[in-house]
Chain A
Amino acid sequence: METAVSVVVDATLITLILALAAFGLAIIYGLVGVINMGHGAFLTLGAYLTWAATTAGVPFVPAVLLAALGVGLVGLALEHLIIRHFYDRPFDTLLLTWAFFLVMTEIIKIVFGTDFRNVASPLAGAIDLGTVKIPIYRATIALVSLALIGGTAFVFYRTTLGIKIRALIQNREVASLLGLDIALMYKLVFGVGACAAGLAGGLISPMLSVDPYIGNVFLVRSFFVVIVGGVGQLLGGTLIGSFFIGGSETLFALFSKQVFAQTVVFLLAIIVLRFRPAGLLRAR
Chain B
Amino acid sequence: MTVDADKRFPAAGRITWRDIGASETGVAVVVLAIFALLPMVVSGYPIYILPQYMLFGMMAMSLGLMWGFVGILSFGQAGFFALGAYTMGLAMHTNWGINPAYVGLLLSLVVGGTLAAVVGYFLFSAGVRATYFVLVTLALSIMVEQVAVSQSEITGGWNGMFIDRMSLTFGPLGDVPLFDDAPAYYAVLPVVALSYVLLRWLVSARFGKILAGIRENEDRMTALGYNISVHKTRAFALSGAIACFAGALYGTHANFVAPSLGGVLFSTEVVVWVAIGGRHSLLGALLGGILVASLSNYLSTVTPEYWQLVLGLIFIAVIVFFKGGVAGAVAQLPRLWRTGRQP
The residues of A that contact B316 with a CB separation of less than 8 Å are 82, 96, 99-100, 103
How many angstroms from the CA of A189 to the CA of B250 in the assembled complex? 45
Instruction: Indicate whether A58 reaches chain B with its CB closer than 8 angstroms.
Output: no
Instruction: Indicate whether A266 reaches chain B with its CB closer than 8 angstroms.
Output: yes
Query: Could you say which of A99, A107, A224, A256 has the most chain B C-beta atoms within 10 Å of its C-beta?
Result: A99
Q: Decide: B313 and A273 in contact? CB cutoff 8 A.
A: no
Instruction: Indicate whether B41 reaches chain A with its CB closer than 8 angstroms.
Output: no
How many angstroms from the CA of A216 to the CA of B138 in the assembled complex? 11
Q: Interface size bucket, A side?
A: 35 or more
How many angstroms from the CA of A114 to the CA of B128 in the assembled complex? 37
Q: Decide: A273 and B128 in contact? CB cutoff 8 A.
A: yes
How many angstroms from the CA of A259 to the CA of B263 in the assembled complex? 14
B307 CB to nearest chain A CB (Å): 9
Query: Could you say which of B130, B313, B319 has the most chain A C-beta atoms within 10 Å of its C-beta?
Result: B319
In A188-242, the 8 Å CB interface with B consists of 213, 216, 220, 223-224, 227
Instruction: Indicate whether A31 reaches chain B with its CB closer than 8 angstroms.
Output: no
Are A102 and B315 CB-contacts (below 8 A) given A107-B309, A259-B146, A263-B143? yes
A99 CB to nearest chain B CB (Å): 4
Q: Decide: A96 and B136 in contact? CB cutoff 8 A.
A: no
Are A263 and B150 CB-contacts (below 8 A) given A106-B309, A220-B142? yes
Instruction: Indicate whether B6 reaches chain A with its CB closer than 8 angstroms.
Output: no
Instruction: Indicate whether A257 reaches chain B with its CB closer than 8 angstroms.
Output: yes
B195 CB to nearest chain A CB (Å): 26
Q: Decide: A266 and B139 in contact? CB cutoff 8 A.
A: yes
The dominant DSSP class at the A interface is helix
The residues of B that contact A107 with a CB separation of less than 8 Å are 309
Q: Interface size bucket, B side?
A: 35 or more
How many angstroms from the CA of A266 to the CA of B136 in the assembled complex? 9
- The 8 Å CB contact of B131, one of A35, A99, A269, A270, is A35
Q: Which candidate, A9-17, A86-94, A121-129, A164-172, is the interface stretch facing chain B?
A: A86-94
How many angstroms from the CA of A224 to the CA of B136 in the assembled complex? 9
- Which chain B residue shows the least CB distance to A96? B319
How many angstroms from the CA of A95 to the CA of B272 in the assembled complex? 10
Q: Decide: A98 and B143 in contact? CB cutoff 8 A.
A: no
What mask results when residues 245 to 282 of chain A are scored 1 for a CB within 8 Å of chain B, else 0? 00000000000110110110011011001110100000
What mask results when residues 247 to 288 of chain B are scored 1 for a CB within 8 Å of chain A, else 0? 000000000000000001100100110010000000000000
B287 CB to nearest chain A CB (Å): 20
How many angstroms from the CA of A224 to the CA of B305 in the assembled complex? 30
Instruction: Indicate whether B42 reaches chain A with its CB closer than 8 angstroms.
Output: no
Q: Decide: B305 and A109 in contact? CB cutoff 8 A.
A: yes
- Which chain A residue shows the least CB distance to B148? A259
- The 8 Å CB contact of A270, one of B130, B136, B147, B275, is B136
Q: Decide: A102 and B311 in contact? CB cutoff 8 A.
A: yes
Instruction: Indicate whether B103 reaches chain A with its CB closer than 8 angstroms.
Output: no
Q: Decide: A110 and B305 in contact? CB cutoff 8 A.
A: yes
Q: Decide: A99 and B143 in contact? CB cutoff 8 A.
A: no
Q: Decide: A95 and B275 in contact? CB cutoff 8 A.
A: yes
The residues of B that contact A213 with a CB separation of less than 8 Å are 265
What mask results when residues 302 to 325 of chain B are scored 1 for a CB within 8 Å of chain A, else 0? 000110110111011001100000
Instruction: Indicate whether B149 reaches chain A with its CB closer than 8 angstroms.
Output: yes
Q: Decide: A266 and B132 in contact? CB cutoff 8 A.
A: no
- Which chain A residue shows the least CB distance to B134? A94
How many angstroms from the CA of A256 to the CA of B138 in the assembled complex? 23
The residues of B that contact A91 with a CB separation of less than 8 Å are 73, 130-131
Instruction: Indicate whether B32 reaches chain A with its CB closer than 8 angstroms.
Output: no
Are A102 and B308 CB-contacts (below 8 A) given A260-B150, A277-B128? yes
B61 CB to nearest chain A CB (Å): 19
- The 8 Å CB contact of A92, one of B139, B147, B319, is B319
Are A273 and B132 CB-contacts (below 8 A) given A106-B312, A220-B138? yes
How many angstroms from the CA of A275 to the CA of B132 in the assembled complex? 13
Instruction: Indicate whether B230 reaches chain A with its CB closer than 8 angstroms.
Output: no
The residues of A that contact B149 with a CB separation of less than 8 Å are 259
B318 CB to nearest chain A CB (Å): 9
- The 8 Å CB contact of B150, one of A102, A110, A216, A259, is A259
Q: Decide: B132 and A277 in contact? CB cutoff 8 A.
A: yes
Instruction: Indicate whether B90 reaches chain A with its CB closer than 8 angstroms.
Output: no
A66 CB to nearest chain B CB (Å): 25
Instruction: Indicate whether B201 reaches chain A with its CB closer than 8 angstroms.
Output: no
Q: Which A residues form the contact surface with B (CB < 8 A)?
A: 35, 82, 85, 90-92, 94-96, 98-100, 102-103, 106-107, 109-110, 213, 216, 220, 223-224, 227, 256-257, 259-260, 262-263, 266-267, 269-270, 273-275, 277
Question: What are 23 pairs between A and B in contact, CB < 8 Å?
Answer: A35-B131, A35-B134, A35-B135, A90-B131, A92-B319, A96-B316, A99-B312, A99-B319, A102-B312, A103-B309, A103-B313, A106-B305, A106-B309, A220-B264, A259-B146, A260-B151, A267-B143, A269-B139, A273-B128, A273-B135, A274-B126, A277-B126, A277-B128
